[in-house]
Copies of this chain bind each other. A is one copy, B any other.
Amino acid sequence: MRKKSVHTFESTKKDVKKDTRPENLMTNLSNAYASDLLPSKDGKDLTESFLLHVVDILLHYIQKTFDVKSKVLDFHHPHQLLEGHPRFLNQLSSGLDVIGLAGEWLTATANANMFTYEIAPVFTVMETILLKKMYEIIGWGETEGDGLFSPGGSISNLYGILIARYKQYPEIKRKGMTVLPGIVLFVSEQGHYSVKKAAAILGIGTDNVIEVKCDERGKMIPAELEKNILQAKRKGQTPFCVTATAGSTVLGAFDPLQDIADICERHNLWMHVDAAWGGGLLLSRNHSYKLSGIERANSVTWNPHKLMGVPLQCSAILIREKGLLEACNQMQAGYLFQPDKLYNVDFDTGDKTIQCGRHVDIFKLWLMWKAKGTSGFEAQINRYMELAKYFYKVLKKKDNFKLVLDAEPEFTNVCFWYFPPRLKHIPKGFERDQELQKIAPKIKAQMLEEGTAMISYQPCGDKVNFFRMVFSNPATRQTDVDYLIDEIERLGKDL
């Protein structure tokens, strides 16, 4: 490296703790080149100094995002990123877990790749251990359970449907869809859109995803499912799979899994449970009954990056029957997965996946589980449920808010409309809906501009745009909930 920049760095190194705001870093780095860092000869000190500066910036950022007095985001200056803030309530995954963060830093530093044991030995073993824990929590038997961490819930759902199809029609792998009958699958009208996406990708077609009606809480109606199955059969279609939802995206609904499992057994259909959002609730002894029947599923999607607060991304696909994942996905690429390796190749997961290289998503989860224990996750999740109940009760008392579901929340989703004074006197009907439809987007846009809070909205079925509050951010407190309500009133009252 150039002599001069070495000295610049050396001289600041001792003051790293007190003298390391971004501006300063940029000045000091201006004389250095990327090629001066390790593995450059003599790059050790510069590398250390550079990384300590980076960390200092990151620590500063972390402290700031957890500070309620800071903006959730500054929309015009998007370099201040956002998700850790207590009032970031926009997504199912929010908040920043410090232990999980440390896990992610370590993973990045190891820069390993999940595919074989010789490359990622510890990580592969950790994945095996945690998957086993997840099978147990679901309630599968000792000899059951297979799985993988995948790049997100949509891909996990795709795996579920892919394996369902393979189990019923193993010839699909070689011969393709053209030799199969017209196969169809079922999901509730409140299910995640990734089920349709998977059907499109897999060559099944979105027309062959049959949407089953839900009750007013957003739960699939078992009698409707059975009716749809019988109808499809009469039309000459061949049902092969039902995707039940445990924790729907908008309303947070849990489909009745026991009833659905009965129907699947009766008709010999694969039961996939999309518990991407709701899976974490299995860790709460108070609330896990809402997923009763999940142990009868053939496959489950469960995203620890949602309710459990693991940094993005961390999604598991769990398959009850062992061996199917590999049978479906292996291509025997001898050059990657040599069976003549001199160790137990059972830990090589490359042949089970639809990927080749695979990012290590396991370590952060493992570290968090070690640090918090199951009881730590449980306490956190129970607190979200308490907050949801609190929020529901507060809204219920206010006459300028209206709950989408007038019942105590089953999950941490609470959906509601805000009615500005001028709308309260318009009678219910098309005209009022036309106006109400515009309220949530306007309030949210104003929040984004001012950076005070972040909450999502959407229409749903025949219901016009409503807000969806969702608790999955460990930094959120009752005071933040109160603040959000005040803020919506402040921004919305003159609309």
Contacts and interface: CB of A to CB of B under 8 A. Distances in A.
A83 interface: yes
Contacts of A202: 201-203
A271 B454 CA distance: 43
Given A98-B47, A201-B354, A207-B174, A121 B458 contact: no
Interface in A33-50: 33-35, 37-39, 44, 47-48, 50
A356 B200 contact: no
A93 B331 CA distance: 21
Interface in A55-71: 55, 57-59, 61-63, 66
A460 to B, nearest CB: 7
Interface string A99-111: 1011011101111
A425 interface: no
B99 A37 contact: yes
B51 A52 contact: no
A346 to B, nearest CB: 16
B111 A91 contact: no
B204 A203 contact: yes
Interface in A333-351: 333-336, 338, 340-343
A465 to B, nearest CB: 8
A140 B360 CA distance: 34
B356 A359 contact: no
Interface in A423-442: 438, 441-442
A51 B193 CA distance: 38
Contact of A111 (B47, B96, B441, B468): B96
A153 B113 CA distance: 13
A413 to B, nearest CB: 11
Given A38-B66, A66-B39, A113-B91, A441 B338 contact: yes
A433 to B, nearest CB: 14
Contact of A334 (B95, B96, B459, B474): B459
Among the interface residues A48, A98, A152, A333, which one has the most CB atoms of the partner chain B within 10 A? A98
A346 B110 CA distance: 35
Given A109-B58, A205-B176, A445-B342, A376 B104 contact: no
B98 A50 contact: yes
A124 to B, nearest CB: 9
A137 interface: no
Most-contacted residue by chain B among A122, A197, A305 (CB, 10 A): A197
A373 to B, nearest CB: 8
A121 to B, nearest CB: 3
A397 interface: no
A196 to B, nearest CB: 5
A83 to B, nearest CB: 5
Interface stretch (A74-82, A210-218, A289-297, A482-490): A74-82
B312 A34 contact: no
Interface stretch (A154-162, A280-288, A385-393): A154-162
Interface stretch (A4-12, A177-185, A222-230, A399-407): A177-185
A206 B376 CA distance: 46
Contact of A176 (B90, B177, B354): B177
A136 interface: no
A112 B34 contact: no
A104 B328 CA distance: 33
Interface in A349-399: 354-360, 368, 371-372, 376, 379
Which of A151, A371, A372 has the most CB atoms of chain B within a 10 A radius of its CB?
A: A151
A136 B313 CA distance: 31
A63 to B, nearest CB: 6
Among the interface residues A47, A75, A335, A341, which one has the most CB atoms of the partner chain B within 10 A?
A: A335
A55 B62 contact: no
A329 B153 contact: no
A155 B112 contact: no
Contacts of A329: 197, 200
A78 B122 contact: yes
A56 to B, nearest CB: 9
B312 A113 contact: yes
14 contacts: A54-B102, A57-B106, A82-B119, A83-B111, A96-B111, A154-B355, A158-B201, A174-B206, A178-B180, A192-B356, A201-B201, A249-B336, A313-B357, A334-B459
